[in-house]
A = this chain, B = another copy of it.
């Protein structure tokens, strides 16, 4: 069985070659021997403020060329432990969020059945609904571990029910997520009313606000996550707007006073060993990320931490 790993960086500079995630081989995601498939979801129709996330996968791939295989803090060789490929981009229909959710679900389901873990690069957060439908089709309702500035449980925007602020409400309605095993963290910023604070909890989610999260150590956060999620299937979703806008200026709905990357990475890293069935990093909007593309750098780093979280699980 083939083992897929990044191109040899001693043979050519890391900025050489067609851009794939971490310089991985571009391979069909359902191929034999694939543990993880990195996949783009270039979609931003469902964005309520600044668009551009359709170019997120391109930018994250570009920034990811700086990644290397060995994770010194978790002491794991990510790409030796896991066979990882870049599976290209998933099908989407610009201008049509409901259809895109269907396309994403339909194309992810065969991967999941083949035992592949998808790591999806957004795209706006509406794409998570397609991911959850595919997961649920294979495993039943899944737990969601979410780091995000927003709970994304609105009912609709200007009459549109499939929007980047609504996916988790839709997911509860469709019973593709299990809110009783799910935990959202990082929510901050002004709201329309006090009711908005209660909405995710009424749907059954546990919520740690941004203010509370800053009081938790990574281990405390991880303990909360593990206690909530239990042994059932789970996915990990990271919206870059959970970061402070200085670190993630290139995003659709920036919210001031967010996490520092050192915080965010520690939180993700503390989940090492949890056998997630899916990951995503969403809401990178490159037009607002010039010239150094720091948001994409952070997104690539978070994606790498997700791989490391899984590598530790597989290593055991």
Q: Which residues of A contact B (CB under 8 A)?
A: 9-20, 26, 40, 42, 44-52, 54-55, 58, 61-62, 66-73, 75, 77-78, 86, 88-89, 91-97, 99, 157-160, 162-163, 189-194, 196-197, 209, 211, 214, 244-247, 249-250, 253-257, 260-262, 265, 287-292, 294, 297-298, 301, 304
Q: Is the CB of A95 within 8 A of B287?
A: no
With both beta carbons as reference points, the residue of chain B lying nearest to A87 in the complex is identified as B18
**CB-defined A-B contacts under 8 Å, sample of 7:** A13-B49, A16-B42, A44-B51, A69-B190, A244-B262, A245-B294, A245-B298
> In the complex, which of the residues B18, B44, B246, B287 contacts A294, with contact meaning CB atoms closer than 8 Å?
B246
Q: Is the CB of A261 within 8 A of B265?
A: no
With both beta carbons as reference points, the residue of chain B lying nearest to A298 in the complex is identified as B256
Name the B residues within 8 Å of A253 (CB-CB). 66
Q: Is the CB of A214 within 8 A of B262?
A: yes
Compute how far the CA of A40 lies from the CA of B60 in the bound complex, rounded to whole angstroms. Answer: 20
Q: Is the CB of A19 within 8 A of B58?
A: yes
Compute how far the CA of A287 lies from the CA of B50 in the bound complex, rounded to whole angstroms. Answer: 9
With both beta carbons as reference points, the residue of chain B lying nearest to A262 in the complex is identified as B257
Name the B residues within 8 Å of A40 (CB-CB). 16-17
Compute how far the CA of A160 lies from the CA of B10 in the bound complex, rounded to whole angstroms. Answer: 11
Compute how far the CA of A255 lies from the CA of B249 in the bound complex, rounded to whole angstroms. Answer: 17
Q: Is the CB of A292 within 8 A of B254?
A: yes
Name the B residues within 8 Å of A71 (CB-CB). 190
> In the complex, which of the residues B13, B158, B189 contacts A10, with contact meaning CB atoms closer than 8 Å?
B158
Q: Is the CB of A67 within 8 A of B190?
A: yes
With both beta carbons as reference points, the residue of chain B lying nearest to A243 in the complex is identified as B246
Q: Report which residue of A69, A261, A294 has the largest number of chain B beta carbons within 10 angstroms of its beta carbon.
A: A294
Compute how far the CA of A10 lies from the CA of B262 in the bound complex, rounded to whole angstroms. Answer: 36
Q: Report which residue of A58, A160, A250 has the largest number of chain B beta carbons within 10 angstroms of its beta carbon.
A: A58
Name the B residues within 8 Å of A245 (CB-CB). 247, 292, 294, 297-298
Name the B residues within 8 Å of A192 (CB-CB). 9, 68-70
Q: Is the CB of A297 within 8 A of B66?
A: no
Q: Is the CB of B48 within 8 A of A45?
A: no
Q: Is the CB of B68 within 8 A of A15?
A: no
Name the B residues within 8 Å of A44 (CB-CB). 51
